[in-house]
Amino acid sequence: MPASLFPGYLFVRMDPAAARWRAIRSTVGIRDLVCFGDMPAALPDGIVEGIRDREDDKGFVRMDKVAPFAKGDKVQIAAGALCEQVGLFDCMTDDERVVVLLDLLGRPLKVRLPVEAVVAYA
């Protein structure tokens, strides 16, 4: 289910030295401004454009999943037929699955698993 990326936030482009930005605080739905000291905080160039570049045709922003492990990390399978097997994290796929390299019967085997089925090896 889609959720707001920045609920309650409004991004504006302005020159805080020249604009009457304090009036923004009285706009219905605006709680406050993110400020550093007495001045509104500025985003580095390209941030909002980068978010817009990831919008789909309905205005939803695709969130790229961050891999929960680094390549080569030792992981343990916590669910399913291969439960308790230990292997090495290889990568994350586009469909929110992880690829783990196992050594089964002396042979390397890559398996794709739901990300929830893999935990860090303790």
Q: Tokens for 47, please give them.
A: 């941030």
Q: Domain limits of the chain?
A: 1-64, 74-120
- Summarize pLDDT for 99-112 with one digit per residue, the tens: 999 999 999 999 99
Residue 76 to residues 72, 81, 95, Cα–Cα distance (Å): 12, 13, 20
- Summarize pLDDT for 12-71 with one digit per residue, the tens: 888 888 888 888 888 888 888 888 888 888 888 888 888 888 888 888 887 766 778 999
Question: So what's the pLDDT on residue 64?
Answer: 65
- Summarize pLDDT for 64-108 with one digit per residue, the tens: 667 789 999 999 999 989 999 999 999 988 777 899 999 999 999
